[in-house]
Structure 1
Amino acid sequence: MFFFLAALTAFSVGMISMPILIKILRKAKIGDNPGGRKIHTSFIPSMGGVGFFVASLVAMSIWAWQFPLPDIRYLLGAIAIMFIVGLRDDLIEMKASQKIVGQLIAVLLVVVASDIRIKDLHGFLGFHELPLWFSYSFSAFVLLALTNAFNLIDGLDGLAGTMAMLVFGFLGTWFLVQGLESYAVLSFTFLGGILAFLMFNWHPAKIFMGDTGSLLLGFTQGALIIAFMEYNATLPEDGFLQFEPVFTSGIVLMLYPLYDMARVFTRRLSQGKGPMTPDKSHVHHFLMRMGLKHNQVALMLGALQLSFILLIFVMADVSDHIALPIVSALALFLGYRLDKITVKYVKRKVHKQPRILDMKSRASRKHAQVSLDAEKLKSSKINLN
């Protein structure tokens, strides 16, 4: 009941504060203007992350004191730092190097101070306990990758919020079942805040989350996923909701952002571009080219993400050596089919459209017809008075 009330509190605070935030941001003209790679057609306030961060903070301050918070105090501090990094980038754009330094501070606070890290590969690829230096380095890399992968998918109304809702819902339930109450209350308060944000971010969006929100959500999900993987690995084999494929279960929770990032980076590098060069090669851009609307794309990708999460329940007793190749092959196959279908659809659409010369010919005939009609009108005996 406490966790439901925590989520409900965050949702209520978010619903009350979001319209106020939208009004303030509109007056301050802080947001995204249309044009360039932007899909929207009018000015939309950004920095919606402020709304669900405040909502989660208020809910945590009311309900979380009943649980042993000292074990996540450094995580909470790191989340606050990542929020400030995103806020600073939305207000005054930061250099890539400055942003990475800010993210590294938050990451090290989680990996080193909070000791939320990947400590053991549990026999995957023949590796077991990792050396301390490698565990720190590898965990920091994974957390940075998860943070920025999620940041990259925030380009469509409701998409990032839908993905975050699925992850926080799963993690909150799992942590609660396993008795990890401090992690559970954190997950549920973020879930409530995200649900409130989605009420205003669903198409047509009234506000975007901005880097303030996407970096915050990506980082928080990444840290909780690493914690989930490590606690899951310590459960007995016959434990309730124990997943044998430790790494596959963690990867699946962020499968879409990771796949989209890998796909986009590969395409850009193959075209001789830098991996961070902005373009319209994301999965959601391809689906939009097929004529789908924002909400349809968000629901479709959300349903696919949910399907992979359910798949990990089916493969709960299978090792990573089997589960990871199956998940990877399925994701690659679906991506390949998407590319083929999209290209075929676009070619058909272009073929049906009139060519430029035909359009000019039609326009000239129409103009001649109008001129001819005007000449006939002048020579007619109709009384024009």
Structure 2
Amino acid sequence: MTNIFALLTAFSIGISIFPVLIKIFTKFNYSDSPGGRKIHLNEVPSMGGIAFFIAALLSILIWNWPLSPLSYRFLIGGILLVFFVGLRDDMVELRASRKLLGQLIAVIMVVVAADIRIKDLHGFLGIGELPLMISYGFSAFVLLALTNAFNLIDGLDGLAGTMAVIVFSCLGLWFMYHGLESLAVLSFTFLGGVLAFLVFNWHPAKIFMGDTGSLTLGFTMGALIIAFMEHNALLPENSSPWRFESIFSMGVALMMFPLYDMARVFFRRIKRGKGPMTPDKSHVHHFLMRMGLKHNQVSLILGGLQLLFIAIAIGMKNYSDHLVLPLISILALSLGFWLDTVAVKNVKKKVSKLPRVLEVSPKKTLDKSKIDIDLKKITDSKVNMN
């Protein structure tokens, strides 16, 4: 029952804070302006991550803090640091290097101090237990990748919130089933906060989460996914119906859409000779919008595909990563290729029906013979020619 109360507490606090936050941000013009690669048409308040982070933090303090282990507090400390990095970036844009440095310090708090890290590959690619420093480095890379992959998909009303709800729900239920109370409460408090956010972020959005929210959510989910992988590995064989043999595949499936979208846009940008972090409109949700789909339709479609990959990973939980990981990876690439093909065809079809703006009719060609300029009148004119 603690988990349900934690979820309801976070949701109630969030649903109370958001209207106040929207009014304050609107009054002081803390808004995300349209234009450029932005696809919204009006000024919309940003930094909504403040509200659901406060909601989750207060719920944690009420329901779990006195019982939480020391490692759990280091995890909360890391999440808090990433929250402030995102908040600073929303208020005064940070350089990419400084933004990454702040994330790296938070990662060290989680990977080293909290000891939430990937310690063993369990025979995947023929690799067993990892040396300590390699474990630290690999875990830090994974956590940074998951954090920034989620940050990149926050470009559409309801999309990032929908993905977060799916991930926190799956992880929360798994932790709760296996008696990992602190991690379960953390998952459900953030789930409650994000559900409250979606009430105000569903199209047409009244507020955006900003980097304050997307970095915080990405980092929290990344840390919880690593914790899930390691706790799963500690379960004896056949001890639980929810023990995964293909644990890396499940970890990837939980964040399949953000990871695929990040790899896709990086590849396209590098191929065009641009930097991988150069902003553009090459994300999957941009392509779907060009097909004429609405914000909520795109969010539901991509959320449904995310659930499909999770369902496949659950259905094949007793198989090896050597089979499941290539399977879901090939499926993701195939779906992505098909989606690109359909999107391009639809865009070309729409363009072909539009009038040719630059086409000039011969009848409207300028008749130069009718132009009569008296040079003497111009030179004798009193107009100042300096």
Partner of 1:380: none
Unaligned runs of 5+ in 1: 365-385
Residues 339 and 362 (structure 1), Cα distance of their counterparts in 2 relative to 1, 3 Å cut: farther
| Compared CA separation, residues 337 and 362, structure 1 to 2 (3 A) | farther
Alignment match, 1:24: 24
The answer to whether structure 1 residue 253 and structure 2 residue 234 are counterparts is: no
Aligned twin of 1:80? 80
| 1:199-224, Cα deviation, whole Å (9 max, x unpaired) | 00000000000000000000000000
Q: Deviations over 1:142-175 (max 9, x none)?
A: 0000000000000000000000000000000000
Give the C-alpha shift of residue 64 in structure 1.
1.0
In structure 2, do the counterparts of structure 1 residues 113 and 339 end up closer, same or farther at CA, with 3 Å as the change threshold? Answer: same
> Is residue 79–residue 106 contact of structure 1 (8 Å, CA) maintained in 2?
yes
Partner of 1:340: 341
Instruction: Please state how far the C-alpha of 1:235 moved relative to its aligned partner.
Output: 1.1
> What is the distance in 2 between the residues matched to 1:362 and 1:80?
68
Query: 1:1-385 alignment to 2 at 5 Å?
Result: 1-65=1-65, 67-238=67-238, 239-357=240-358
- The Cα of 1:70 is off from its aligned counterpart by 2.7
Using the alignment, how far apart are the partners of 1:234 and 1:360 within structure 2? 75
Give the root-mean-square deviation of aligned CA atoms.
Answer: 1.5
- Aligned-residue sequence identity (percent) comes to 65
Q: TM-score, normalised by structure 2?
A: 0.92
Matched with 2:370 is none
Distance 2:299 2:67 in 1: 35
Return the alpha-carbon distance in structure 2 between the equivalents of residues 331 and 233 of structure 1. 26
SS of equivalent residue, structure 2 residue 192 = helix
Distance 2:358 2:24 in 1: 49
Amino acid at match of 1:50: I
Q: Distance in 2 between matches of 1:361 and 1:55?
A: 66
CA offset at residue 63 of structure 1?
A: 1.0
Contact 1:14 1:51 in 2 (8 A): yes
Per the TM alignment, residue 332 of structure 1 is displaced from its structure 2 partner at its CA by 0.3
Structure with the largest fraction of helix: 1
Deviation per residue, 1:39-74 (Å, 9 max, x gap): 001100100000000100111111114633433010
Cα deviation code 1:319-339 (max 9, x no counterpart): 000000100000000000011
Aligned counterparts of 1:185 and 1:356: Cα–Cα separation in 2: 58
User: Alignment length, in residue pairs?
Assistant: 364
SS of corresponding position for 2:64: helix
Give the unaligned 5+ runs of structure 2: 366-386
Q: Is the 8 A contact 1:67 1:181 kept in 2?
A: no
**SS of alignment partner, residue 356 of structure 1:** coil
